[in-house]
Amino acid sequence: MTFDGYDLVVVGSGFFGLTVAERAAAAQEDGGLGKKVLVLERRSHIGGNAYSEAEPETGIEIHRYGAHLFHTSNKRVWDYVNRFTAFTGYQHRVFAKVGEQVYAFPMNLALINQFFGRSHSPDEARALIAEQSSEVDTKSAANLEEKAISLVGRPLYEAFVKGYTAKQWQTDPTELDASIITRLPVRYSFDNRYFNDTYEGLPVDGYTAWLEKMADNENIDVRLDTDYFAVRDDIPAGVPVVYTGPLDAYFGNSEGELGWRTLDFELSVEPTGDFQGTSVVNYNDQDVPFTRILEFRHMHPERDYPKDKTVIVREYSRFAESGDEPYYPINTPEDRAKLERYRDLARKETANRNVVFGGRLGTYKYLDMHMAIGSALTLFENRLVPHFTEGKALSGTESED
């Protein structure tokens, strides 16, 4: 494999990596640098966890690595992504199943009225939750359970938070740090939109079409099924590398593996045109092993999908083991101590080898899609542009921007 003629190597083709690659490769008159970029991807497809594909039996577009819902209030990001795709008017709404009842979620006036069995005005609902949450002083909460009770009260906590959290973390909430929950939103209105952002929607032709358009530039070469660690010694010295893989793996786990949660997905084709009536239903009871069921047909009601079949995916959460796909950083005190040591190593690697670390895996941060894109645009503007146009050093790490 030859690396001659490339100005930049990007490791990973998720939204962070592709945004960096697209901007670096774009023509100067389009705000880019016109550089020749090589993207290395260990998977057999581009797009990272945002990759989507048609389920073969039904043709229904599924998100292979869990539901991806695009939303942002960042106009710069919104304007940028609209270069590559139009968006539907989809607004995400979630429902929660507790016992034999289904509630609109997140917690709002409809849920409060339904759960407590009577109509409340917004002021009455506020007073009710304030009374129930007064059981625990939020400033003195010693664990996640106490913190949650101090925010929403014990009845709502035990119904909607306790079991779901225990499944998400495989840990009793009394043994989880209070900092995991900084706030539990309660809306004292009937608004049941899951996100509050200014812009929201799903790509009209799907995520893969969007991602492929980002990479569709004569200055970008994408090599799939390529392990960066197997070829990195072949990259010419001095060629900048933007690395979006796991931070600990880059350094051979020398400071120990960082802790992650992972997800398992159980897909099935059901012999009905509509399994649950909406795209996502959370299963909050602890005795139900999965956390939620996704039904992807409801994400694109404008499409002509089969009327007699549908695709559902049951989602399970667990601690990641070596070789699992990392999804959510656990961020224990031990993890944070390791992360600081890895950041020190990353700073030295940037200074010595022109390697810049970014993205969810490269910074050990959970990033929504819009956050990853925004961070990549910042890296491009603040680091790569000065490096290529003024010869400035690629100092610092993306995690500290």
Based on the structure, what is the number of domains in the chain? 3
Q: How far is CA 149 from CA 21, 50, 116, 131, in A?
A: 46, 35, 17, 11
Per the structure, the complete domain to which residue 144 belongs is given by 99-183
Q: Would you state the pLDDT for residue 182?
A: 77
Residue 79 maps to which CATH number?
3.40.50.720
pLDDT over 80 at 397, yes or no: no
The arithmetic mean of pLDDT across residues 158-181, rounded, is 91
Are 244 and 357 found together in one domain? Answer: yes
Note whether residue 196 is domain-resident.
Answer: no
Are 371 and 385 found together in one domain? Answer: yes
Are 351 and 338 found together in one domain? Answer: yes
Catalytic residue among 187, 297, 360, 383: 187
pLDDT over 90 at 401, yes or no: no
368 catalytic? Reply is yes
3-state helix, strand, coil in the chain (%, to 5): 40, 20, 45
Are 234 and 281 found together in one domain? Answer: no
Q: How far is CA 116 from CA 56, 119, 267, in A?
A: 44, 8, 35
183 catalytic? Reply is yes
The pLDDT tens digits for 67-77 are 999 999 999 99
Catalytic residue among 261, 297, 343, 360: 261
Q: Would you state the pLDDT for residue 19?
A: 98
Confidence of residue 185 (pLDDT cuts 50, 70, 90): confident
Catalytic residue among 23, 64, 292, 343: 292
Are 225 and 358 found together in one domain? Answer: yes
- b or e along 46-74 (b: 16 or more beta carbons within 10 Å of the residue's beta carbon)? bbbbbbbeebeebebbbbbbbbbbbbbeb
Domain boundary among 289, 319, 349: 319
**How many CA atoms lie less than 13 Å away from 254 in the CB half-sphere?**
11
Confidence of residue 110 (pLDDT cuts 50, 70, 90): very high
Are 275 and 343 found together in one domain? Answer: no
pLDDT over 80 at 1, yes or no: no
Catalytic residue among 55, 61, 295, 315: 315
Element (H, E) at 37: strand 37-40
Domain boundary among 123, 155, 183: 183
The arithmetic mean of pLDDT across residues 116-142, rounded, is 96
Note whether residue 398 is domain-resident.
Answer: no
**How many CA atoms lie less than 13 Å away from 281 in the CB half-sphere?**
20
51 catalytic? Reply is no
Are 127 and 238 found together in one domain? Answer: no
Catalytic residue among 183, 287, 321, 400: 183
Note whether residue 192 is domain-resident.
Answer: no
Are 366 and 219 found together in one domain? Answer: yes
Note whether residue 3 is domain-resident.
Answer: no
335 catalytic? Reply is no
Confidence of residue 109 (pLDDT cuts 50, 70, 90): very high
Are 363 and 340 found together in one domain? Answer: yes
Are 144 and 234 found together in one domain? Answer: no
Are 29 and 83 found together in one domain? Answer: yes
Note whether residue 326 is domain-resident.
Answer: no
Note whether residue 399 is domain-resident.
Answer: no
pLDDT over 70 at 398, yes or no: no
The arithmetic mean of pLDDT across residues 328-338, rounded, is 91
The pLDDT tens digits for 26-65 are 999 999 999 999 999 999 999 999 999 999 999 999 999 9
Q: Would you state the pLDDT for residue 395?
A: 79
Bridge partners (DSSP) of residue 200 are 71
292 catalytic? Reply is yes
User: Are residues 258 and 251 in contact, defined by beta-carbon separation less than 8 angstroms?
Assistant: no
Note whether residue 190 is domain-resident.
Answer: no
Q: Which of 173-187, 283-297, 326-340 has the highest mean pLDDT?
A: 283-297
366 catalytic? Reply is yes
Note whether residue 272 is domain-resident.
Answer: yes
Show Cβ contacts of residue 35 under 8 Å, excluding neighbours closer than 6 positions: 7, 8, 24, 25, 219, 388
The pLDDT tens digits for 282-324 are 999 999 999 999 999 999 999 999 999 999 999 999 999 988 9
315 catalytic? Reply is yes
Distance CA 79, CA 31 (A): 13
Are 54 and 176 found together in one domain? Answer: no
pLDDT over 60 at 399, yes or no: no
The pLDDT tens digits for 226-268 are 999 999 999 998 899 999 999 999 999 999 999 999 999 999 9
The distance of Cα 258 from the centroid of its chain, to the nearest Å, equals: 18
